[in-house]
Structure 1
Amino acid sequence: MPAAAQTFFEQPILNSPYRKPSRQWELDLQGRPTDRILDTRRRAELISAIPAPKKRSRAEQAEMVYEAGHGLSTDVQESNPTPIINELRQEIETWRSLPTPEQWRVSPVTANLLRHWRALQQDASRPIRPFFCQLEAVETAIWLAEVAPKAGGRGRRFLDWLSEANASATTPGAPDLFRVALKLATGAGKTTVMAMLIAWQAINIARSRNSKLLSRSFLRIAPGITIRDRLRVLLPNDPDMVRRINCDKHS
């Protein structure tokens, strides 16, 4: 085994889960880690772990197109969302660094939730606190819903891209369903993100009952009985949720 691979596998994790990633293993052209550590966050990229194929003719290569959804990619134009994802990350980072809630351009309820979640994340004495990726996912949803519509052309750029992507991937039977996907790694705590998003919407709608931008009901869709049962923790009266709340209160 090459020395570079040994170095990576001896210490693959370089960052704390509670802080913005600031270091990464450099990858070679095949997406394999080298022995060099870069002091930057890794950009969103489409990286395949599949070994490089044998040489093909140009005609064969033209048929190999990354398919991200229903008709988004064709042999004429490949759908690659990573450039706009990286731009959106930068927008969220700039917005996150604003010092006062008045500058966040969100509702008072949302501002209180953000202050609470960010304080939890920074408090190392608490047994339960959100990971950076969890809070960033929620911040992204909040920014797109509450901040982007007020951010002029800068915010409109992201909303227009989402609208175009939805129009290109319309599912028969649900043409008016506007979809936004949050992608997190396995084990990153997507259920917690779901709970945070539900809390954001539910508490806001309790204060602004006439709002047409907030949800009163929430639908959980699971791929099987096992996952469905795990998602019961989202119910406020579920025993696991009660134990978690009590643990957090007494910490």
Structure 2
Amino acid sequence: DSEQLESGEAMSDEFKKIASVEIEEFKSEYRNRFPGRDADKLTNEDLLREVMNTVGKAGKLGEHIKCVVSVSMLTEGWDANTVTHILGVRAFGTQLLCEQVVGRGLRRMSYAINKEGKFTPEYAEVYGVPFSFIPCSGSTNGPTPGPIPTRVRALPERSHLEITFPRLTGYRYELPEEKLKAEFSDESRFTLSTIDIPTKVMLDPIAGESSIHTLDDLKRRRIQEVAFLLAKLTLENYCQDDEGNTKPFLFPQLLGITKHWIDECVTCNDNTFPQLLLLMEFAHNAAEKIYRSIVKSTDGQKSLKPVLKPYDTEGSTKYVEFDTIRPVYPTTLSHISHVVADTGSWEQKLAQSLEDDMEEVVSYVKNHNLGFTIPYTFNGEEKNYVPDFIIRLRLSGDETLNLIIEVTGQKKKEKEAKVATARDFWVPAVNNHGGFGKWAFLEIFDPWNTKSTIRSYLGTLKGDLE
């Protein structure tokens, strides 16, 4: 800045050596401009001022400088991504200031991924900033042009292949006033282990004796209290009417189901005890499993209702339009022009199977930038699950079935929660609503056997759909 230029700090000999040609040209011009003055008496400040005054001017000392940024402008909001050189023209007193200055060159010019799936290296050259511990390599070559993006969009001429879907924020269980029942399965089981939470901790202070902290106070709570509080949590979270009011008359039945669940489904590994279920994370997970067990019963599926988004209840393929550099597969039976692949083969293979000799397929769509999500909870945390495909299948007559497809490679606990929610909550809730057509869910483990898997699944659904 102006104050720094006038401060009289010496210009480095290295800079003078690099810019010797330009400096001599400036002195020659100075003699012609001011015949009575001695160019050899020009100070370092005069040279630096000339550099600043001729930024970007052809044939001048500052010809090759495109932009000069004062240190006073180096705020967090300064986010230029075209920095190629950083020139220090003042003494930097602290390493923090050096980091702030050099950090202005960290923004990339291109985010295109190369063939190795990585970003191409980009460099900014730094002069006059006293970093002695940063290794430097490479050159300032411009970024390698990335792959040309593909425009993925809904095609107007394929509007007859449009697929619509409901947008849900959750599920509401219309519990009958008669006796509730629950169906326990492997998914209902809950294992308490010290791998999830330690039950004994030794604290070593800097000075003084060590102390051992345990959960003995929690262990002294009665099992009856554990069942009571879990049933209360299940009632408050899941058993509500249209206005959001809980149904307290259902509590005795929920308490009985909760007691049976603790006796039959809870396993305590070494050094654990059922009272750990009172911890918040475990409590919400337990209430969720109890609720799913109720829903899984026959009466539960018939009474499950969706909670729709208040102002955006239905999504559609007609709103899809975006650019991508990911691998794509062109379509003919989809409203969307391409299938965007997340892997190297299985999305393409599944799309090919749907396109090739499957007369049951009316249309399909890969769920990418479509906005189709299934709300679920895992370990007490609310999340949104994005399935892989939606397929509209032709049934008898003019009836169609919307089949949600999820391709599973490796079984994981969270994946099991996603699949269970889609199968036991989302599909029954939407079908019970009756305003979005018929829906089903299918998990595929081998994309190369898609045709047989779908046809076999339709055979098992035939009686239910009729």
How high is the TM-score relative to the length of structure 1?
0.30
Q: Which has the higher strand share?
A: 2
How high is the TM-score relative to the length of structure 2?
0.19
Q: Which has the higher helix share?
A: 1
**Considering only CA atoms, is the larger Rg found in Structure 1 or Structure 2?**
2
